[in-house]
Amino acid sequence: MTRSLADFDYALPHELIAQRPARGRTDSRLLHVDHDRLADLRFTDLPDLLGADDLLVFNDTRVIKARLYGRKATGGEVELLVERVTGAAEATVMLKASHAPKVDATIDLEDGARARVLAREGRFFTLRFEGVDDLFGWLDRHGEVPLPPYIAHVPDASDEARYQTVYARNPGAVAAPTAGLHFDDAMLQTLAARGIRQAFVTLHVGAGTFQPVQSDVVAQHRMHAERYAIPAATATAIDETRARGGRVVAVGTTSLRALEAAADEHGRVHAGSAETSLFITPGYRFRVVERLVTNFHLPKSTLLMLVCAFAGYDHIRAAYAHAITERYRFMSYGDATLLEREDKPE
């Protein structure tokens, strides 16, 4: 069945969009969606829902302070969102300005630094940061945590800690893999003590994750490419999990997309690095992931389309209606779901 954008719309009360995280990382609620069965739980119940042979796959990307503010030579204000660091002093950037700067124009930044426009392709600009030797380090000192547009407050010190997973280690994301925000060190230790194995992938979430679907025909939408890496140890862990009869559980849609992008037609995940623009919509045949931990997603978003493909369109519609009635908290700082895959693994 061909789906339109309107098929992925729903009425989300604004007050259910979480503006701050729960007091503790594991204090959130957990909605278990097992086909047409729904269970209202706490996130601390997650270890009881997993088997000793299961494998949790986390995305260990680290959010960079990707939002900057500057001025053009004409005095006009510019807001910059770093999409991807491409060199020691170069990056692909999205800009907000009254008039977009032209190639070779400069933007004055903090600490005497300056960004020069090298090229433009659509909404993305290539900038060289002059007076900057280590762009990651400079961003850490002068940038701002790139909170999503639906979070209204100005980022503060608490966001620097909480809009980052406890296992983040590879800098490059401009948005957090938010399913992982629910895990703290104690939870990871509890899972390990029960024999539930953990593995990691890296997918640097890009600014394109915030871009709305523009076409009413879902199939015409094109995802912005994101870089991912699958370590050899993770590919081996997946093989071993399957051999034991365990299940591959993706923590977040980014982990799922990386694993599915790295799989061949037989479902074997191959180690290595590549880029993916994989767009998962209902009808997609999953090859690797059997369970998914994820947050609640915006109406008409590509992430909502992904979870509908994974758990079943009707099941997700019912689950979201239930979550709204039960006053779950939505989006990055909100509550979590554990989704069972609708189709049976081959």
Residue 240 pLDDT > 80, yes or no? yes
User: For residue 209, what pLDDT is reported?
Assistant: 65
- Residue of 103, 144, 111 whose CA lies nearest to 130: 111
Tell me the pLDDT tens digit for each residue of 198-211. Answer: 999 999 998 766 67
Tokens of 72: 């053009």
In the three-class reduction of DSSP (H, G, I as helix; E, B as strand; rest coil), residue 186 is classed as helix
> Is there a contact between 335 and 181 (Cβ–Cβ < 8 Å)?
no
pLDDT digits (tens, 9 = 90+) for 102-128: 999 999 998 899 999 999 998 899 999
Give the residue among 248, 256, 247, 250 at the shortest CA–CA distance from 276: 256
Share of the chain above pLDDT 90, in %: 87
Question: What residues have CB less than 8 Å from 305, skipping those under 6 apart?
Answer: 3, 8, 218, 279, 280, 281, 282
pLDDT tier at 346, thresholds 50, 70, 90: very low
Name 117's Cβ contacts closer than 8 Å, sequence gap at least 6.
101, 102, 103, 104, 105, 106, 107, 125, 126, 127
33, 338 contact by CB (below 8 A) = yes
Q: Which two tokens stand for residue 191?
A: 């899972």
Dihedrals phi, psi of 239, to nearest 5 degrees: -60, -45
What is residue 170's predicted lDDT score, i.e. its pLDDT? 96
pLDDT range class, residue 344, cuts 50, 70, 90: low
Q: Each residue of 154-164: pLDDT tens digit?
A: 999 999 999 99
Mean pLDDT across the chain:
94
Task: Check residue 210 and give its pLDDT.
Answer: 64
Beta bridge partners of 94: 81, 124
Contact present, 291 and 339 (Cβ < 8 Å)? yes
Q: What is the mean pLDDT of residues 83-95?
A: 92
pLDDT at 181 over 60: yes
Whether the per-residue pLDDT at 307 is higher than 80: the answer is yes
